A and B are shown apart, each in its own frame.
Chain A
Amino acid sequence: MLHRFANPTRFLRLANAVLPWATGLTILLIGAGLYFAFGASPADYQQGETVRIMYIHVPSAWMAMFAYAFIAVASAVGLIWKHPVAHVCALAAAPIGACFTLICLTTGSLWGKPMWGTWWVWDARLTSVLVLFFLYLGFIALANAFDDAARGEKASAILALIGAVNLPIIKFSVDWWNTLHQPASISRIDMPAVHTSMLIPLLLMAVGFTMLFTVLVIIRARAELADRRINALRSARIHAETAHSGA
């Protein structure tokens, strides 16, 4: 199954089939999510209207971690099975994940000012997410730092695997340390501690963001494969021309 999609043509055929559906779902889910988030859900009795920031903040925080996990898994697949498309997907996902992380940090900061009375505190959750953002930047910088693209994608894949130790630290930081950031309220074994009227927009946005991530990764991976193809064709033509003029 995995090896079938090591062939870029086959991968592109699947990607092109998925793309319109994923795009439609993204628009539908985020549209509905925004409608519920801003119109059809109640304001919180303590937080007031600022609770609506959560409908962007929480899904983007999930996506920030999901994107890094995606990169780590794709990097492992690329390193172990020498799967070329896996590296392309990892590189395609990195700037998107970095954007989600930045959105998460910014919206969290905007929410923190009226709620906690401060833009930023150095507690475990916030600090570990900031480190995640730095890891994304390091990954992107390392992948683009070499003249030989193959070298960059392998080196950055090793970095992605080592940086993955940060993910459990982010997830459990609110349990391990006594932090200002509240502990998990959705992913609990018993009922979620969030009322249904607020859970609906949250879940709609979460699935919508996942679809958005899929769409963006496909578009970027497609562009990257096309770019490589153009480069390969160009160097093949130069080779043919030099061979011709040499004869």
Chain B
Amino acid sequence: MSGFFALVGRDIRIALRQFSDTMMVIVFFVIAAALFPFGVGPEPNLLARMAPGILWVTALLAAMLSFDRLFQNDYDDGTLELLVIAPQPLWMTALAKIIAHWLTTGLPLLVASPVIGIMLNLEPRGFGVLIAAMALGTAIISLVGALGAALSLGSRRSGVLLSLLVLPLVIPVLIFGAGAVDAAIGGFPATQQLLVLGGLLLGCIVVCPWGCAVALRLAAD
């Protein structure tokens, strides 16, 4: 387990030293969301209606920008090969890197989303559910994105490929995430959607680190 926490700590340290990379994701999130009032018009009711969807789509696209650096640097400088032959099970290594990725990308997105919610005139009663759904959703996005990053590691033009692999797989997150916020705004309980998101998260925790491990072993060969 000490290796697990050491790896989480190392990845967080690296991310903090390259702080501009993390900031770039958040800045993209804010700018992309800020484009919508220009595109659809600044009418407050329309924006309030669209806010959950805009938040989820832009957060998803912003997260896509962060996956290429998840394994790429370790792959380039040979660290990945050492991690693969280390005694620690490879799925634990993958899970440690995914947790570090969520703490340095998912969490900042989570913090930024209520601010953008205010800018988009989101109904006040939607905020609590938005944060709960985002917390579950960004974790799923980190897990699935890591799988895509591991599969496309070392390929030609991996950035575009990554979007093609990951975006179709996270459509359920978008459906239930935006659905939860919509339900809360409409005055309905969002328990059902949050439970589905929680179930998806548990399923991904089982499948994705294992898939990552297989893909990383392939890449390190």
Interface residues of A, Cβ cutoff 8 Å to B: 127, 131, 134-135, 137-138, 141-142, 145-147, 151-152, 154-155, 158-159, 162-163
Contact = CB atoms under 8 A, between A and B. Distances in A.
Interface stretch (B20-28, B104-112, B116-124, B207-215): B207-215
Contacts of B155: 142, 145-146, 152, 155
Contacts of B152: 142, 145, 155
Interface of B: 147, 151-152, 154-158, 161, 164-165, 167-169, 171, 207, 211, 214-215, 218-219, 221
24 contacts: A127-B171, A131-B171, A134-B167, A137-B164, A138-B161, A138-B168, A141-B164, A141-B165, A142-B151, A142-B155, A145-B156, A145-B161, A146-B155, A146-B156, A147-B156, A151-B154, A151-B218, A151-B219, A152-B155, A155-B151, A155-B218, A158-B211, A159-B165, A162-B207
Q: Is the interface of A mostly helix, strand, loop or mixed?
A: helix
A150 to B, nearest CB: 9
A135 B168 contact: yes
A138 B167 CA distance: 10
Contacts of A127: 171
A162 B211 contact: yes
Given A134-B168, A146-B155, A141 B161 contact: yes
A142 B156 contact: no
B169 A163 contact: yes
A158 B171 contact: no
Which of A135, A152, A159, A163 lies at the interface centre, i.e. has the most chain B CB atoms within 10 A of its CB? A159
Closest 8 CB pairs of A and B: A145-B155, A134-B168, A138-B165, A138-B164, A155-B151, A131-B168, A146-B155, A154-B218
Contacts of A137: 164
Contacts of A163: 168-169
Nearest to B160: A141
Nearest to A135: B168
B157 A145 contact: yes
B168 to A, nearest CB: 4
Given A147-B156, A151-B154, A158-B211, A142 B218 contact: no
Contacts of A147: 156
A76 B169 CA distance: 19
Contact of A158 (B154, B164, B214, B221): B214
Contacts of B171: 127, 131
A138 B161 CA distance: 7
Nearest to B175: A127
